[in-house]
């Protein structure tokens, strides 16, 4: 994910996972395996003095490890009140916007092109397992049960998750035996977020109610499920690669950008159903607004139209789906209506 010549920005909240990430990065710098490392802490202003205590702890941690630190205060509650959006989604989006700005600054001052930079997050195998069960409950789309990718593009940044194969208990044990650890005012080696214990929150419910029951049946659940998710990920990568090949071969843009519309050649009907679904999922994810989830009903509507001349449907994002002898056409409804009037 990175070398001694890669600028790396660590996202550090002060919890055990990100604290372990900071210590591991320091060990890698000492071993000559990482070079230009900086840290970012985002204070969401959601927990009063506890949030400020997190910021102080991370500041001490950065000073102790010798890492430059970016600090960012974002009043998430105010943003939620203004927009009416989901608090967790807004907080996440703001974190990654801050990460992009911090990484841009890091690369500029250290003389690296921005594309060379990496953002490291402290997602663990436990986070991945929680995602797996959360998606099992609410449903998921193609590839969803791989749970998390090790490497992904977010807000234009390459985001890497180097701890995704590691368990939270192992990371906490590593902190406890490491030399030179930093503690907060209460002598704690990392900061605990009390909201993580609130089982009214979906993730906390899965973490404290579902997973302990599953571990009663299989004490090695984390290891077993991580291995299973990696197998799913391998198959998902293969299907993704085939979907990209089909898109390159059979998709024709209708304008200067993908959001202007796409024509899929009739030969798409000859592909296997799972591959067609994957092609449509990838295509719609590019046509819809950033982070909008592709609905299964939209994919079903597109598949229904394949080979059915005269077919027309309106799907999410106010997209028009139509079919004729030239193939399946997906475009903004406004463009579809203007074309039909001509």
- Pairwise CA distance, residues 228 & 223, whole Å: 9
Helix 87-110 and helix 76-83: axis angle, to 10°?
120
Q: Is 310 left (phi over 0), alpha (psi -120 to 50) or beta?
A: left
**3-state SS assignment for residue 243:** helix
15 is in an annotated binding site: yes
17 is in an annotated binding site: yes
285 is in an annotated binding site: no
Which string of DSSP letters, residue by residue, matches 63-81?
HHHT--EEEEE--HHHHHH
Q: How many CB atoms lie within 10 A of CB 242?
A: 16
14 is in an annotated binding site: yes
**In this structure, is the dihedral angle defined by the CA atoms of residues 175, 181, 184 and 186, taken in order, positive or negative?**
positive
Residue whose C-alpha is closest to residue 206's, from 293, 300, 130: 130
* Residue numbers belonging to the annotated binding site for ATP: 13-18
């Amino acid at each position: 994910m990175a070398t001694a010549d890669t600028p790396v920005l660590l996202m550090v909240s002060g919890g055990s996972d990100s604290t372990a990430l900071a210590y591991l990065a320091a060990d890698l710098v000492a071993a000559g395996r990482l070079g230009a490392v900086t840290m970012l802490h985002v204070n969401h202003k959601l927990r009063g003095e506890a949030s400020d205590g997190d910021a102080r702890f991370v500041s001490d941690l950065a000073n102790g490890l010798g890492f430059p630190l970016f600090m960012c205060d974002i009043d998430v509650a105010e943003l939620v009140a203004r927009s009416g959006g989901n608090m967790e989604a807004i907080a996440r989006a703001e974190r990654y916007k801050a990460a992009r700005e911090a990484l841009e600054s890091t690369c500029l001052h250290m003389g690296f092109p921005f594309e060379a930079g990496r953002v490291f997050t402290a997602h663990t195998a436990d986070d991945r397992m929680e995602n797996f069960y959360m998606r099992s409950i609410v449903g998921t789309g193609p590839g969803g049960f791989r749970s998390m990718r090790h490497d992904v593009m977010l807000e234009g940044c390459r985001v890497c998750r180097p701890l995704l194969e590691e368990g939270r208990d192992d990371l906490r044990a590593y902190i406890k035996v490491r030399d030179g650890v930093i503690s907060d005012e209460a002598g704690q080696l990392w900061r605990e977020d009390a909201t993580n214990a609130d089982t009214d929150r979906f993730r906390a419910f899965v973490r404290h109610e579902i997973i302990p029951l599953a571990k009663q049946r299989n004490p090695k659940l984390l290891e077993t499920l991580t291995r299973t998710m990696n197998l799913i990920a391998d198959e998902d990568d293969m299907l993704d690669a085939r979907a990209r090949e089909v898109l390159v071969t059979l998709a024709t843009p209708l304008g200067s950008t993908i959001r202007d519309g796409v024509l899929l050649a009739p030969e798409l009907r000859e592909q296997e159903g799972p591959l067609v679904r994957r092609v449509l999922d990838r295509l719609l994810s590019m046509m819809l607004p950033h982070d909008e989830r592709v609905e299964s009903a939209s994919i079903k509507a597109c598949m229904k139209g394949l080979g059915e001349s005269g077919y027309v449907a309106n799907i999410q994002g106010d997209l028009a789906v139509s079919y004729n002898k030239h193939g399946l056409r997906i475009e903004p409804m406004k463009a579809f209506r203007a074309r039909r009037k001509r």
